[in-house]
Structure 1
Amino acid sequence: MLSQAFTDGETIPAKYTCDGQDINPPLTIGNIPEGTKSLALVIDDIDTPSGTWIHWLVWNIEPAAYLDIGENTTPAGSTTGRNGFGKSAYGGPCPPDRAHRYVFSVYALDRHLILPAGSGKQDVLNAANTRILGSARITGLYVRPRR
C-alpha cells in the first residue's frame, strides 16, 4: 500500500487533516494475495493517551490487481464503520498536543464481512480474525501548526 500524498514515515499534508479540507488521502493497494474476496482498511492514531483513535474504518472493499482509492472517496460498494469521532466517515488527523503517528492498515480477507454499517473496529477485527490472507501498512505523521 502507498499514498500519492505522502511516503511511509513522512508527514501527512495538512489538506487531509482537520487543519485543511479533512478529506482522505489517495491510496493505492497492490500485490493483493490470491483468493482475496474483500479488503478492510483501518486508519489509527497510535499516539493518543487512551490507546488508539480510529480515523477511518472501511470493509468489504472489492479487490483489484491494483486498487486506487482517490482522495475524498469511499470505495464503491464498501461499508463504513464508526470512527473515534462517532461518525461513519473519514476523520482527518487532529492531534491536540504534539506529533502523532497515523497507521494506515489494509487487510486482505477470504470473504466479505457480514456486519452492519457503523460497526466498530473491534467488531471488524473479530469478524476478520481468522479470515486474513495478508496485510500491509504505511505510517504518516502529523503535528498541528502553532497558533
Structure 2
Amino acid sequence: MELASTAFVNGGDIPGRYTCEGPDLAPPLFWTDLPEATRSLALIVDDPDAPDPAHPQRTWVHWVLYDIPPSAEGLPESASPLPEGARDGLNDWNRTGYGGPCPPIGRHRYFFKLYALDQMLSDQHEPKKAALEKAMQGHVLAQAELVGTYQKQKGQR
C-alpha cells in the first residue's frame, strides 16, 4: 500500500497553502495497492515534534478521518467533498477536519498515516486519535505513511 500527494514528496516541504500561513487547506492525497480484504480506511495526521523539535513534549494531532470507503482513490485538495461515508474524528484543537501545520518554533515533521482496515468503525462518534487507534486494534491489514515538513516563515506569526 502506498500513500502520496501531488502537493509534496515524501520527506519534502509542505507548501504554505496547506498551513496556517496560507488558506490551511488539506493537501490532496492519493493511495494505491490496498489489500483485497480492505473494508475501510482511516487517516491520522500528527506532529511528534510539538512544541519544539529540539525538545518535543507531545504529539499534536492535526487530522483524524475514518470509514473512508476503499473505493475512494484519494482525497481532493481541501478534502472536499469527503468520500461518501467518510467520517471526521477530533483533532487536538478539539474540532473536526484538517488543521494544517503551524509550528511555534523550528521545522516540524508531519506524519500522514493511512490504515487499511478489515471492518468499518461506524460505532465511533468523532473519536480522538487514541480512541480510533484502540478501535483499529486487530483490524489493520496494512499501513502507509507520507511525511512532510514545515517551518514558519521568518518574521511571521
Deviation at 1:35, TM superposition (A): 0.4
Query: Which amino acid is the alignment partner of residue 25 of structure 1?
Result: P
Deviation at 1:145, TM superposition (A): 0.2
Q: Distance in 2 between matches of 1:2 and 1:52?
A: 22
Query: Which amino acid is the alignment partner of residue 7 of structure 1?
Result: V
Aligned match of 1:68: 74
Q: Distance in 2 between matches of 1:95 and 1:76?
A: 32
CA RMSD of aligned residues (A): 1.1
Q: Percent identity?
A: 40
Q: TM-score scaled by structure 2?
A: 0.89
Aligned match of 1:14: 16
Aligned match of 1:121: 129
SS at match of 1:141: strand
Query: Which amino acid is the alignment partner of residue 4 of structure 1?
Result: T
Aligned match of 1:50: 57
Report how many residues are paired. 146
- Which stretch of structure 1 is more off in the superposition, 53-62 or 69-78? 69-78
Residue from 135, 144, 147 that aligns with 1:136: 144
Give the 5 Å matches for 1:101-120. 101-120=109-128
**Contact 1:88–1:117 under 8 Å retained in 2:** no
Deviation at 1:17, TM superposition (A): 0.2
Q: Distance in 2 between matches of 1:6 and 1:93?
A: 14
Residue from 126, 129, 154 that aligns with 1:146: 154
Q: Distance in 1 between matches of 2:97 and 2:57?
A: 21
1:39-69 CA deviation, whole Å, 9 max, x = no partner? 00000011113321110100000012x6121
SS at match of 1:123: helix
Q: TM-score scaled by structure 1?
A: 0.95
Q: Distance in 2 between matches of 1:107 and 1:19?
A: 29
**Contact 1:57–1:121 under 8 Å retained in 2:** yes
Query: Which amino acid is the alignment partner of residue 128 of structure 1?
Result: M
Q: Unmatched 5+ residue regions in structure 2?
A: 51-55
Q: Distance in 2 between matches of 1:28 and 1:116?
A: 24
Aligned match of 2:31: 29
